[in-house]
Structure 1
Amino acid sequence: MDSNLWNLEKDKQHLFYFGAEHSRNPEDKQFTEIENYWNDFLKRTDGKNKIVFIESGVKEIYKDKAEAVKKQGEVGFTAFLA
């Protein structure tokens, strides 16, 4: 298991963890990894209540992936997905 990715499941409950490197480069491959992990999270929790915790909080939600990454890095990108 990659030390930055955790997916724990018990009694049909899931905990997903992605430990990202700080980056504001929209071309950084980790943003594709985050998006793939996010899609897996949505698939496994379909129809269930979901809670997303983001490091440091979000100051603004952007409508564009590249802008979210450039302004707030992985924090903004995760908020964009959520």
Structure 2
Amino acid sequence: MICNSKYLYKIELITANDVLEFNRIATKCPGNVTIVNGKHRLNAKSFLGLHLARMTWNEMYVEADFDCYFDFSKFIKVESEIAE
């Protein structure tokens, strides 16, 4: 989904390994990759920040200047999965 000229996808990071893998992918991406949830935002290239967000945030979205769907597809929650 595109929002304010940025690509935005709802994600789910369940395990510590998910955080590690997501962080590795984000680190290799060119440009800014941000995790957002309503009022808060953090750099997705921050390993510690991702762990804290995973433990405390109810919802997380990845936001990027480029279409990152295929990079993070393992973690993206599609609408049919959200409704269940």
Q: Is TM more than 0.5 here? A: no
TM-score (norm 2): 0.31
Pick the structure with more helix per residue.
Answer: 1
TM-score of the superposition, structure 1-length normalised? 0.31
Q: Higher strand share goes to which structure?
A: 2
Larger radius of gyration: 1
